[in-house]
Structure 1
Amino acid sequence: MRKIKYKKGRKVQPTILEYTGSHKSTKTEMQLFVYDTNELTEYAEFKTDQLYRCFDNSKINWLNIHGLNDIEIIKSIGDHLNVDNFMLGDILNTTKRTKLDEYHDVLFFNIKSLLPIENSDNINVEQISFLLKNGILVSFQEKRSDFFVHIRERMRTHSGIVRDKKADYLLYLLLDAVMENFYITIENEEDRVEDLINLSKTSTNPKILEQIEKHRDNYNFLKRSIIPLRDSLYSIKSMKDDNVFNAIEPDNYSFFDRLHQKSLELLEQIEYDMTTLDSASSFYFSTQSHKMNEIMKTLTVVSVFFMPLTFIVGVYGMNFENMPELKWEYGYFMILGFMFLLLLGMIYYFKRKNWY
């Protein structure tokens, strides 16, 4: 099974923009939502030549991008928002850990979206990045997915307060939607670990131990993905009084505080699940040890049964001349009968003692 870990991508120069992810065949597509409380305009097939014509500075603009293969499109977005190349490089370099940064009034945030792969113990990883500046939010996804479908519907139907809030609230909703994937992944891992625990109580198949270690790797990978996210959200939470992040309104810091609390809950759940996984390992080794003890017990009992019989056979195999019973007509049958009765007596005695 493939070991899940952050890929060690080759080093890319800061001035060179290159997509390092695995979805290299995905065509770059864009959708733009321009909205306020009273009006919503949706551009389903947005093109870069519409940047200056369709963006409305008096409203909230959400540009969602699927696919990062077209570098020219990414550069056009960066030029329009006056984004430095190092931020664009972090968007395209999917080997980077979760990061929060603000430069030239542009807030940059990237996050790892994790989802279980159906009928597999592996986890699907996708990097999602965000740029927030002056009422414009740009989200970058490596491929088309349905993480934000419910948010689009809330915009279209004007349900909730999403169209009454600024772009930073929209960023909160998008981050919250991505974090829901962590819960789905953890729940899937918990179901599989529960099956492993039940299986480890009854089976000593070595593949069980391989699966246990595989899920331990998955939990460690989840931790490595959530810890930098927790730190980034804590940065927003801890710096709200200093107005460090100009792109976030003071009234909306509480929403990001909720995300920080969610990240702590996720880490606590992972720690608990890893303890449960240790129980699966203990059950497996206990079952192995118990089975080995039963085997040794059976072998020992059989050996004890034959020890006196072997002694008797040894005595009469010494071939001394003065052994009267050797010349007795019924000596052979008498010794066999005695050995048989001795064996039955030992079996009865061991049974009463519950030694087998």
Structure 2
Amino acid sequence: MIRAVSMISNEQPDWQKNPESVWVDVLSPTPEEIDELKRVFTLNPLALEDALTEGQWSRFEYYREHAFLVYRTLKTNGKCNDDTERVSLFWYPETDTLVTLRLREVGYLNEVWQTFEPVTHGIEERVIYNLLSRGADNFFDFTDALKEETDTLEESMFQHQNSQNLIKQVFHYKHLIMTARRLVSSARESVAAFSRHSSLIGEETNRNTTEELALYLRDIVDLLSRTYESLDSSREVLTSVLDVNLTVQSNKMNEVMKTLTTVSTIFLPLTFLAGVWGMNFEHMPELKWPLGYVFAWLSFLVLGVGLAWYFRKRGWW
């Protein structure tokens, strides 16, 4: 599907005849639509190949024909998952023309399209900034959702929760953070390269709007850098949660072992006495004593209670 909007008027543009001052958006193009784009616009073949290839990460290249940016972000849903969105931008600064190509729906692009208002010269720079900034906002939504999840894990760490489930959740979120960090790092480097080349384009063409775009892009780079740092912070929190959980489990195991050791120690002398009095020798003393059985049980009780009291007093139990 191909749709176009004029950069400078509310009239429907005929982009096939006059491919200037327009924004052309392409969604899941067919081979025929790709041929039509190639007929109207000068598309670098390497850039077009990257735009049509699944799984491309963010990257920027400045070709002789146009500037090219692949911008890959997390999906617009505010949830803590690894679904991604990707849009490829072909920018022709000399003709105020922007072509966006995507293989699947991109939520924030549709929002920018619906709120688009044609103005005077240089609107494509604002469109580019809006697209990139909203994509960066998706990363922030992810980090906010992740922070809530890590806070929940911290609170549940000392509650009666299955340790195995907690460990599974920690490693699940660590995997998400690893994926998000790669996306943020790739997007940050690409936008930073775009910003540097935008400054050069502004100097070559004497366009203040292009130089202004470079400033806006640096603001997005700063936003992505802060997102990257926030992801690092969340990763450290998850590592701390995992370490503390292991410490808590180790302490619980130590308490259990202490209890078992104490009980075993108490029964050790009792077992010794029961073994001595249980020997079947003919001339053992106290065999014919009427109170021998009662004396044996009293000895067991006094010895057991005495050891338990002593261990409790020393803090061993």
Q: Indicate whether the TM-score tops 0.5.
A: yes
CA distance in 1, matches of 2:196, 2:164: 48
Q: CA deviation at 1:303?
A: 0.5
In the alignment, which of 284, 309, 313 is matched to residue 348 of structure 1? 309
Given residue 16 of structure 2, which amino acid in structure 1 is its aligned partner? Y
8 A contact 1:117–1:123 mirrored in 2 = no
User: Which residue in 2 is equivalent to 1:11?
Assistant: none
Given residue 200 of structure 1, which amino acid in structure 2 is its aligned partner? M
3-state SS in 1 of match to 2:104? coil
8 A contact 2:73–2:184 mirrored in 1 = no
Given residue 300 of structure 1, which amino acid in structure 2 is its aligned partner? T
Asked if 1:268 is matched to 2:251, the reply is no
Q: CA deviation at 1:113?
A: 2.1
User: Which residue in 1 is equivalent to 2:167?
Assistant: 209
CA distance in 2, matches of 1:264, 1:255: 14
3-state SS in 1 of match to 2:279? coil
CA distance in 1, matches of 2:89, 2:136: 14
3-state SS in 1 of match to 2:108? coil
3-state SS in 1 of match to 2:98? strand
5+ residue gaps in structure 2? none
Cα 1:107–1:163 change in 2 (3 A) is: same
In the alignment, which of 75, 79, 83 is matched to residue 35 of structure 2? 75
8 A contact 2:96–2:121 mirrored in 1 = no
User: Which residue in 1 is equivalent to 2:213?
Assistant: 252
Cα 1:284–1:78 change in 2 (3 A) is: farther
Asked if 1:126 is matched to 2:96, the reply is no
CA distance in 2, matches of 1:71, 1:315: 95
User: Which residue in 2 is equivalent to 1:147?
Assistant: 108
In the alignment, which of 178, 183, 188 is matched to residue 230 of structure 1? 188
3-state SS in 2 of match to 1:148? helix
Relative to total residues, which structure has the larger helix share, 1 or 2?
2
8 A contact 1:112–1:225 mirrored in 2 = yes
Given residue 305 of structure 2, which amino acid in structure 1 is its aligned partner? L
Cα 1:332–1:163 change in 2 (3 A) is: farther
Asked if 1:40 is matched to 2:10, the reply is yes
8 A contact 1:65–1:141 mirrored in 2 = yes
Asked if 1:165 is matched to 2:137, the reply is no
Percent identity between the two aligned chains: 21
User: Which residue in 2 is equivalent to 1:31?
Assistant: 3
CA distance in 2, matches of 1:326, 1:116: 87
- Equivalences, count: 311
8 A contact 2:6–2:23 mirrored in 1 = yes
5+ residue gaps in structure 1? 1-28, 44-49
User: Which residue in 2 is equivalent to 1:22?
Assistant: none
* TM-score, normalised relative to structure 1: 0.79
Asked if 1:52 is matched to 2:36, the reply is no
Cα 1:238–1:155 change in 2 (3 A) is: closer
Structure 2 matches for 1:6-25, cutoff 5 A?
none
Cα 1:107–1:230 change in 2 (3 A) is: same
Cα 1:234–1:215 change in 2 (3 A) is: same
Q: CA deviation at 1:168?
A: 2.4
Cα 1:137–1:191 change in 2 (3 A) is: same
In the alignment, which of 197, 200, 207 is matched to residue 157 of structure 2? 200
3-state SS in 2 of match to 1:100? strand
Please, what is the CA RMSD of the aligned residues? 2.6
Given residue 11 of structure 2, which amino acid in structure 1 is its aligned partner? T
Asked if 1:94 is matched to 2:91, the reply is no
* TM-score, normalised relative to structure 2: 0.88
Structure 1, 234-243 or 211-220: larger mean CA deviation: 234-243
Structure 1, 306-315 or 205-214: larger mean CA deviation: 205-214
Cα 1:220–1:138 change in 2 (3 A) is: same
